[in-house]
Amino acid sequence: MMYDNAEFCNICDSEVCLSWTDTHGLAQCVKCGVPYVIYHYEGGVRVDKPRQIAINDDYIPIIRRYWQENNRPIPSGFSFAGGQEIASRDDAKCFNEWMKLNGGATDGQEPCES
Protein backbone atom coordinates (compact mmCIF):
# COMPACT_ATOMS: atom_id res chain seq x y z
CA MET A 1 0.00 0.00 0.00
CA MET A 2 1.11 3.52 -0.74
CA TYR A 3 1.50 6.12 1.97
CA ASP A 4 0.16 9.42 0.84
CA ASN A 5 1.08 12.96 1.83
CA ALA A 6 -0.58 14.52 -1.20
CA GLU A 7 -3.45 16.94 -0.89
CA PHE A 8 -5.32 15.15 -3.66
CA CYS A 9 -7.08 11.79 -3.91
CA ASN A 10 -5.03 9.02 -5.54
CA ILE A 11 -8.00 8.01 -7.71
CA CYS A 12 -10.17 11.03 -8.62
CA ASP A 13 -7.51 13.76 -8.17
CA SER A 14 -9.93 15.93 -6.20
CA GLU A 15 -8.78 17.81 -3.13
CA VAL A 16 -8.85 15.32 -0.29
CA CYS A 17 -12.07 15.39 1.72
CA LEU A 18 -12.81 12.21 3.64
CA SER A 19 -15.77 10.76 5.51
CA TRP A 20 -15.71 7.83 7.90
CA THR A 21 -16.69 4.31 6.91
CA ASP A 22 -18.27 1.82 9.29
CA THR A 23 -14.82 0.26 9.84
CA HIS A 24 -12.61 1.69 12.59
CA GLY A 25 -9.74 3.77 11.25
CA LEU A 26 -10.89 3.77 7.62
CA ALA A 27 -12.31 6.74 5.75
CA GLN A 28 -13.40 7.24 2.14
CA CYS A 29 -13.04 10.02 -0.39
CA VAL A 30 -16.37 11.84 -0.51
CA LYS A 31 -16.14 12.21 -4.29
CA CYS A 32 -15.04 8.77 -5.53
CA GLY A 33 -15.47 6.56 -2.44
CA VAL A 34 -11.96 5.10 -2.44
CA PRO A 35 -10.95 3.93 1.06
CA TYR A 36 -7.99 5.26 3.06
CA VAL A 37 -6.45 4.00 6.29
CA ILE A 38 -6.44 6.96 8.67
CA TYR A 39 -5.59 5.29 11.99
CA HIS A 40 -2.51 3.06 12.05
CA TYR A 41 -1.58 0.55 14.74
CA GLU A 42 1.59 -1.37 15.52
CA GLY A 43 1.51 -3.96 18.26
CA GLY A 44 -1.94 -2.76 19.29
CA VAL A 45 -0.72 0.81 19.82
CA ARG A 46 -1.85 3.68 17.61
CA VAL A 47 1.04 5.28 15.70
CA ASP A 48 1.25 8.50 13.73
CA LYS A 49 1.55 7.84 9.97
CA PRO A 50 0.16 9.58 6.88
CA ARG A 51 -3.08 8.33 5.41
CA GLN A 52 -2.68 5.25 3.25
CA ILE A 53 -4.84 4.21 0.30
CA ALA A 54 -6.51 0.89 1.11
CA ILE A 55 -6.21 -0.49 -2.41
CA ASN A 56 -3.57 -2.92 -3.63
CA ASP A 57 -0.92 -0.98 -5.56
CA ASP A 58 -1.48 -3.12 -8.67
CA TYR A 59 -5.12 -2.02 -8.79
CA ILE A 60 -4.61 1.73 -8.48
CA PRO A 61 -4.23 2.28 -12.28
CA ILE A 62 -7.27 0.05 -12.92
CA ILE A 63 -9.42 1.88 -10.35
CA ARG A 64 -8.25 5.26 -11.73
CA ARG A 65 -9.29 4.15 -15.21
CA TYR A 66 -12.68 3.02 -13.90
CA TRP A 67 -13.19 6.44 -12.32
CA GLN A 68 -12.10 8.30 -15.46
CA GLU A 69 -14.41 6.25 -17.69
CA ASN A 70 -17.46 6.06 -15.42
CA ASN A 71 -17.21 8.93 -12.90
CA ARG A 72 -19.15 6.81 -10.39
CA PRO A 73 -18.34 6.12 -6.73
CA ILE A 74 -16.23 3.06 -6.03
CA PRO A 75 -17.70 0.63 -3.48
CA SER A 76 -15.14 0.32 -0.71
CA GLY A 77 -16.65 -2.68 1.03
CA PHE A 78 -15.84 -1.18 4.44
CA SER A 79 -19.39 -0.16 5.37
CA PHE A 80 -22.58 -2.05 6.13
CA ALA A 81 -25.63 -1.80 3.91
CA GLY A 82 -27.44 1.35 4.96
CA GLY A 83 -24.28 2.59 6.70
CA GLN A 84 -21.70 5.11 5.56
CA GLU A 85 -21.04 3.67 2.06
CA ILE A 86 -20.95 6.41 -0.59
CA ALA A 87 -21.53 4.03 -3.53
CA SER A 88 -25.11 2.97 -4.20
CA ARG A 89 -26.20 -0.55 -5.07
CA ASP A 90 -26.26 0.51 -8.76
CA ASP A 91 -22.73 1.95 -8.44
CA ALA A 92 -21.54 -1.38 -6.99
CA LYS A 93 -23.20 -3.31 -9.80
CA CYS A 94 -21.60 -1.06 -12.44
CA PHE A 95 -18.20 -1.37 -10.75
CA ASN A 96 -18.37 -5.17 -10.50
CA GLU A 97 -19.44 -5.57 -14.13
CA TRP A 98 -16.72 -3.18 -15.33
CA MET A 99 -14.06 -4.99 -13.29
CA LYS A 100 -15.04 -8.36 -14.81
CA LEU A 101 -14.61 -6.92 -18.30
CA ASN A 102 -11.55 -4.73 -17.69
CA GLY A 103 -8.91 -6.46 -15.63
CA GLY A 104 -10.66 -7.04 -12.37
CA ALA A 105 -9.61 -9.21 -9.46
CA THR A 106 -7.73 -12.36 -10.43
CA ASP A 107 -6.28 -15.30 -8.52
CA GLY A 108 -8.58 -14.58 -5.57
CA GLN A 109 -7.03 -11.14 -5.02
CA GLU A 110 -9.46 -8.35 -4.25
CA PRO A 111 -8.93 -4.72 -5.30
CA CYS A 112 -9.49 -3.38 -1.78
CA GLU A 113 -7.34 -4.48 1.12
CA SER A 114 -8.92 -5.10 4.48
pLDDT reported for residue 37: 93
pLDDT-based confidence at residue 16 (cuts at 50, 70, 90): confident
Tell me whether residue 114 is in a domain: no
Q: What is the pLDDT of residue 38?
A: 93
The whole domain housing 78 covers 18-101
Contact call for residues 91 and 98 (beta carbons, < 8 A)? no
113 located within any domain: no
Banded model confidence at residue 114, pLDDT cuts 50, 70, 90 = very low
Q: Is residue 49 part of a domain?
A: yes
Identify whether 107 is part of a domain: no
Q: pLDDT, tens digit, for every residue of 32-89?
A: 999 999 999 999 999 999 999 998 898 899 999 999 999 999 987 777 766 788 888 8
Count of domains observed in the chain: 1
Is 85 inside any structural domain? yes
- Residue 76 phi, psi dihedral angles, 5° rounding: -80, -30
